[in-house]
Structure 1
Amino acid sequence: MFPWIEWVVARNMPLSEVDDPLTRSMSKLKPVCSKTLKVYLAMVAETVEATISAEMSDPVGIRFDASTFFLEKYVALFAMHWHDGQLKQTLLSIAPMEEGDLTAQSHCLFIQRIIELFHQSEANLAFLIGDNCATNRAIATRLNVPLIGCASHRFNLAVNSFLDNHKPEVNAVNTLMAALLTINNRSARAHAVIVAEAECDAVGLHLRDGGPLRLDRDDIKQVETVSDLIPKASMHWRIEALLADLRILQSVSVKLQSEDLTLADVRTLFDSVGQRFPSLKVKLSATASIVHSPTFEAAVVINGEVARLTTSDRKAVKRFEVSTATTNAGSKRKQRNDEEEKLEEDFTSSVLRAKKVGGAKPASSAYVKLLEKLPPTSNSCERLFSQAKLVLTPQRATMLPVNF
């Protein structure tokens, strides 16, 4: 029976796939009907829920996010807890909210109902991880737990504010690119590429890394219809400077997608970005107004080192104390492009490397290991929704969530 379950689930097939005569004729498995498969799927779900319940131990955190499918809001919940010497990030549910009531109170009730299915209560909750929106902050306040605001979401807000200060450069590029993407101009642009490639072949030059030839300012000038939209020299220099800054910010954004990144790593990155781009400190500083629980995050960043904790810090991480201490401690253009790529690659690496060389201490044995490994983003929820969009097709939209 399990191979049929694996086939349907792993391939995102409808349950009726096992009834299809063609599928049965191509399989060596013993035929089974969809009704029987549905019964066994429910039994597997119950067994998995029991296993998760047995593994979950206090303290427990919830990572959550929401997305809309076919006018219905779905909320994904992941349990974050420490088990068998490692951080467990277990999907508890992805289910729709009741229509018409999307307040913070309804979200609190939703979270409480889900964790009760796994024999947990509100008293077991130690923290939440989610976007930095007002609703999520209100949810954390109602549940009386700290909220770790998603670092990726927070960084995106900071970058958007950064781009607001460079609107002339951004608008100039957008206007030019919109014109270049029209049908007639695409043809002229393709002709410019063919001419440039022929010129390269004539002098024995080769494209770097075998990649596509990118049009520069001189190439674009060959497209007559956009000549008036080409930025002047001074604007061109500002755009190049902005592009260099954006490469650095992009490297940070990519690093925030790492699964092994901790809250302490994020604080190190954000502080370094704030030093390089002072205008971003408003969003990225440890005491920014967008931060729901600055005291809790500060205590986590210093890894619960007892000697450095203030009275308020100790109160914020009291839920993570352990009764018995453990002993585990755990050409010119080409040259310029190469330099920019090296800068982009080295920024996040050098910042985090300096943090390690600086002698970051492991979490104090007075606190559970979970405190040191708290994840700083809710990116896993976003990835789950991206996968769910491939499964929740219009044909499945009317099915019960437990069955789709």
Structure 2
Amino acid sequence: RLADLIGVPLVGCASHRLNRAVSQLLSECAEDLDSVQAVMVKLRTLHHSAKLRFQTDLRTIIRQHTRWGSSFATLSRYFELLPFIDSEDEELAELLPHAASKRRLRDLLGELKDVESVSKAPQGSDVDLLDVRVWFDGLIAEMPSYARYLGNPDFEAGCVRVLKGQTKHLIRAEMVALESFMVDPRAQDRATDEEQADASASFVERIQKRRRLDERQPY
């Protein structure tokens, strides 16, 4: 909304876009995740929690649907607890995910590990848009469905090219998107150039300096 109000395009929040992508992924795996939740809830009952304590110090984690990180933690803990779960117990056996579901859940856990890594990386103090773009492109390569949320729109793509020093490779759509940020280094520097130029500088030296200004990136 801010971009609309000020009439200038802005790069969307990386974390928000990533959360949307993961939320879509989790919604597609809702049935499998519900089965894990059911097992976790059952393991919290007095009888089953007592049996589990004899096997391991690990405790169950209940999924909070509003946070994908909670889904990741619950799924990770489920596979940690799996060797200690009594599969001969009829109550638990009815709830345990079947083989196909377990395979899907393992795949999901692997994807969420990658996502968690990317979600934490932008919190660093030395991270820029180019870094985030590389990480997002890596996720898209592994999970093409993420392109809908993490794709590279014209404005962001243009910003990345500028950061790479590839202004000459901007396509028309990217140039239009970046138009609000375009500056003319000659106009910007000419006044100070004339004021601060060494009086002894030759004409050729002044021309060479202007040539260097012309070669600067315009963004």
Q: Same fold (TM over 0.5)?
A: yes
Q: How much does 1:228 deviate?
A: 2.1
Q: Identify the structure with the greater helix proportion.
A: 2
Rate the CA distance shift 1:317–1:228 in 2: closer, same or farther, 3 A.
Answer: same
Using the size of structure 2 for normalisation, the TM-score is 0.65
Q: Given residue 217 of structure 2, which amino acid in structure 1 is its aligned partner?
A: A
Could you say which residue in structure 2 is the equivalent of 1:152?
15
Alignment gaps of 5+ in structure 2: 58-78, 191-214
Q: Does 1:299 align with 2:148?
A: no
Q: Does 1:254 align with 2:120?
A: yes
Among 27, 34, 37, the residue aligned to 1:164: 27
Q: How much does 1:151 deviate?
A: 0.6
**C-alpha separation between the residues in 2 aligned to 1:222 and 1:233?**
13
CA RMSD, aligned part only?
A: 2.8
Rate the CA distance shift 1:295–1:237 in 2: closer, same or farther, 3 A.
Answer: closer
Answer yes or no: is the 8 Å Cα contact 1:274–1:280 preserved in 2: yes
Using the size of structure 1 for normalisation, the TM-score is 0.37
Q: How much does 1:219 deviate?
A: 1.3
Could you say which residue in structure 2 is the equivalent of 1:319?
181
Answer yes or no: is the 8 Å Cα contact 2:129–2:160 preserved in 1: yes
Rate the CA distance shift 1:234–1:313 in 2: closer, same or farther, 3 A.
Answer: closer
Answer yes or no: is the 8 Å Cα contact 1:192–1:222 preserved in 2: no
Among 215, 219, 222, the residue aligned to 2:84: 219
Q: Given residue 276 of structure 1, which amino acid in structure 2 is its aligned partner?
A: E
Q: How much does 1:227 deviate?
A: 3.0
**C-alpha separation between the residues in 2 aligned to 1:365 and 1:264?**
20
Q: How much does 1:317 deviate?
A: 4.5
**C-alpha separation between the residues in 1 aligned to 2:93 and 2:168?**
64
Q: Does 1:188 align with 2:51?
A: yes
**C-alpha separation between the residues in 2 aligned to 1:301 and 1:184?**
57
Q: Identify the structure with the greater strand proportion.
A: 1
Number of equivalent positions: 168
Alignment gaps of 5+ in structure 1: 1-135, 195-213, 287-293, 326-363, 369-404
**C-alpha separation between the residues in 2 aligned to 1:273 and 1:298?**
16
Could you say which residue in structure 1 is the equivalent of 2:170?
309
Rate the CA distance shift 1:241–1:306 in 2: closer, same or farther, 3 A.
Answer: closer
**C-alpha separation between the residues in 2 aligned to 1:218 and 1:312?**
55
Could you say which residue in structure 1 is the equivalent of 2:211?
none
Could you say which residue in structure 2 is the equivalent of 1:234?
100
**C-alpha separation between the residues in 1 aligned to 2:155 and 2:106?**
40
Answer yes or no: is the 8 Å Cα contact 2:32–2:105 preserved in 1: yes
**C-alpha separation between the residues in 2 aligned to 1:217 and 1:166?**
19
Q: Does 1:174 align with 2:31?
A: no
Work out the percentage of aligned pairs sharing the same amino acid. 28
Answer yes or no: is the 8 Å Cα contact 2:139–2:146 preserved in 1: yes
